[in-house]
């Protein structure tokens, strides 16, 4: 997981693929991860699993974002939950590989259901602090 050099197994910074994130929880194709290298969390750009959904947890133990990946293992959209956006207040979706590549919009009904599912999974995880 990661994407900053995922195809080669080594990132541009010389880090081994999969070392940037720690898996905290997995439920089916949804994987909850935390970024290892800084206080500010980053979402993975690529994955090694087709159609994976990553949930990025920040250093406050909050669900920060939900990121979807396509059949080519590239990020296709990201739902942001913890920070406001200049155009849209509250939860919003960024389309495309890059953050605002194909626009930013309000959540669709299906995405709202995924947000609720993810929050419930995170709240009810076993071994929580």
Would residue 14 count as lying in a domain? no
- 6, pLDDT greater than 50: no
**Residue 12, domain member (yes or no):** no
| Start-to-end Cα distance in the chain | 25
- The answer to whether position 129 is within a domain reads no
Residue 45 and residue 70 in contact, taking contact as beta carbons nearer than 8 Å: no
Residue with the two structure tokens 């990020």: 75
Q: How many domains does the chain have?
A: 1
Distance from the Cα of residue 42 to its chain's centroid: 8
Structure tokens at 4: 């900053």
Q: Please name the residues in contact with 3: beta carbons below 8 A apart, sequence gap of 6 or more.
A: 44, 45, 46, 47, 74, 75
Residue 4 belongs to a domain: no
Q: Is residue 26 part of a domain?
A: yes
Is 17 in contact with 24 (CB distance < 8 Å)?
Answer: no
Percentage above 90 pLDDT, the chain: 34
What is this structure's pTM? 0.79
Per-residue pLDDT tens digits for 70-116: 888 888 898 998 877 777 778 998 888 766 667 788 999 999 999 99
Q: Is residue 43 part of a domain?
A: yes
Query: Distance between CA 91 and CA 63 in Å, rounded?
Result: 12
Q: What is the pLDDT of residue 125?
A: 87
């Amino acid at each position: 997981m990661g994407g900053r050099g995922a195809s080669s197994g080594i990132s541009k910074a010389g880090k081994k693929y999969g070392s940037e994130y720690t898996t905290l929880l997995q439920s089916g194709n949804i994987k909850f991860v935390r970024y290892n290298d800084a206080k500010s969390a980053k979402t993975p750009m690529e994955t090694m699993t087709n159609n994976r959904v990553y949930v990025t947890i920040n250093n406050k133990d909050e669900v920060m974002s939900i990121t979807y990946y396509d059949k080519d293992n590239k990020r296709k959209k990201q739902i942001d939950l913890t920070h406001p956006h200049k155009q849209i207040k509250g939860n919003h979706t960024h389309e495309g590989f890059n953050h605002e590549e194909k626009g930013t919009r309000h959540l669709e009904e299906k995405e709202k259901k995924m947000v609720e599912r993810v929050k419930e999974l995170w709240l009810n995880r076993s071994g929580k602090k």
